[in-house]
Chain A
Amino acid sequence: MTNQRKSCLLGPISPAADGTLYQQIVDRLKREVSEGRLKPGAPLPSFRQLAEELLVSVITVKRAYEELEREGIIFRRQGLGTFVAEQGRDRSREAKLAAARELLSGGCREAAEAGLKPAEVLSLFHEILKERK
């Protein structure tokens, strides 16, 4: 009710972050699933619960759930609620891979525009990987 019981299920969302609020919810839920914090069969909060937790409109949450359902990451059971799908982890991993691919090709485009040759791009990439370790 009025007392703040935040369940803290998702990473934070903010209008200042990339993407619309609904896309951010999709991203954050995918991350929970792909990193195994939300396991197949686990129930998700209702639209209204999550809307209250994230302080966004119910429609925003509904739209995010609909997209995740289309991608096969979650499924809905009439009257029971929404759950993480069996293959949700693979699906959200696929989605992550596709996103990574897109970001990397964007990076390659920028590098090419900066005049880097393929070998230089590769060594730059190795450098980045080393920094992250």
Chain B
Amino acid sequence: MTNAIEIRGLVKKYPHFQLGPLDLTVPRGAIYGLIGPNGAGKTTTIDLMFGLGRNDAGHIRVLGLDHRADDVQLKQLAAYVSPDLNFQVWGKVGKALRFVRGFYPGWDDTYCSALMKAFHLSAGDRIATLSSGAKTKLSLLLALARRPEVLVLDEPITGLDAVSKQQVFRELLEAVADGERTVLVSSHSLSDIERFADHVGLLKNGRLLLEGRTDEVVDRYRLVEFFTRNGDGLQSPAPDGLLILRSNENRWHALLDQKSGAQEWLQRQGARDVTLTRLTLEDLFVALFKEEEVS
């Protein structure tokens, strides 16, 4: 089995939003970054995977298990970390640990202690008085110490300082170090995703816009600057693969998909002084999602 998560034709309808039809593939052993603007459907997708809400069509398979028919087994193998999880009812960290530990035969005490140390948590800490960053670390610890096959994290680094963020990613890299375990992480921290995630998927309005190896996705696009003759616009509407971002008289800035024929099209249009600039995942994200404002 080469894929840890396979989502096919997934649809969930709400009065003002529809997720899907969504196809998404997370290879085994990957750290997969699920990104997209607020309201794109990231949390809806993750919630459906764990049986929170019922999908209207399609299916989700995690390690070959159906998310509805095999939900108990799935929840044994897959862990879910969300900013909405609240462990305050247990009072102290130690009590929460003892409670959660009981559910999972794969719980690793040695790893748990190491994580406690790395995350500066102690059994005696009162959960209610932990900082929001420490609460995030606690929910991550509770998931990691189970040694899950698949770890799903919804916005795990929100509210963490730079040092803590790096610690979290170090632990995630270690968690996938055996090549068998898989992490799916949704985040708005795109520079982190670009550095740590080997695969990315971009969600927009409930659909998957792009998916693939992070380096390939980023490398496929360039910011392009070109000039047209004074007073000339572009002779025909820009093709797919060329997204005009700004123009000023005869100077144009656009996003270019190098796998499309858009560069040849530009040449046929007589564009001059064409320069290509590499961009980061964050630049790409902004260019792709600002589209509506321009047109």
Contact = CB atoms under 8 A, between A and B. Distances in A.
B215 A63 contact: yes
A8 interface: no
Interface string A79-106: 0000000000000000000000000000
Interface stretch (A51-59, A70-78, A114-122): A51-59
B272 interface: no
Q: Is the interface of A mostly helix, strand, loop or mixed?
A: helix
B214 A59 contact: yes
Contacts of B174: 1-2, 52
A15 interface: yes
A3 B174 CA distance: 11
A3 B118 CA distance: 7
Interface stretch (B34-42, B192-200, B233-241): B192-200
Interface string B182-199: 000000000100011111
Given A55-B166, A59-B213, A2 B197 contact: no
Interface residues of B, number: 27
A22 interface: yes
A15 B195 contact: yes
A21 interface: yes
Interface in A27-71: 48-49, 51-52, 55-60, 63
A4 B132 CA distance: 24
Contacts of B31: 57-58
B117 interface: yes
29 contacts: A1-B111, A1-B174, A2-B111, A2-B114, A2-B115, A2-B117, A2-B174, A3-B114, A3-B118, A15-B191, A15-B195, A20-B215, A21-B195, A48-B173, A48-B177, A52-B170, A52-B173, A52-B174, A52-B177, A55-B166, A55-B173, A56-B196, A58-B29, A58-B31, A59-B198, A59-B213, A59-B215, A60-B198, A60-B215
A58 B198 contact: yes
A55 B278 CA distance: 22
A55 B214 contact: no
Given A2-B171, A48-B173, A58-B31, 7 more contacts: A2-B111, A20-B278, A49-B177, A55-B166, A57-B195, A57-B196, A57-B214
Nearest to B178: A48
Contacts, number: 59
Contacts of A56: 195-196
Contacts of B195: 15, 21, 55-57, 60
Contacts of A15: 191, 195, 280
Contact of A57 (B118, B177, B197, B278): B197
Interface in B158-183: 166, 169-171, 173-174, 176-177, 179
B198 A57 contact: yes
A57 B31 CA distance: 8
Nearest to A3: B114
Residue among A49, A56, A58 facing the most chain B CB atoms (10 A cut-off): A58
B169 A55 contact: yes
A3 B166 CA distance: 14
A51 B198 CA distance: 11
Nearest to B167: A2
Nearest to B278: A20
Given A1-B114, A52-B170, A58 B176 contact: yes
A132 B34 CA distance: 48
Contacts of A1: 111, 114, 174
B215 A51 contact: no
Contacts of B179: 48
Contacts of A58: 29, 31, 173, 176, 198
Contacts of B177: 48-49, 52
Going nearest first, the 8 A-B pairs with the smallest beta carbon separation are A59-B198, A2-B114, A57-B198, A2-B118, A48-B177, A52-B173, A57-B196, A1-B114
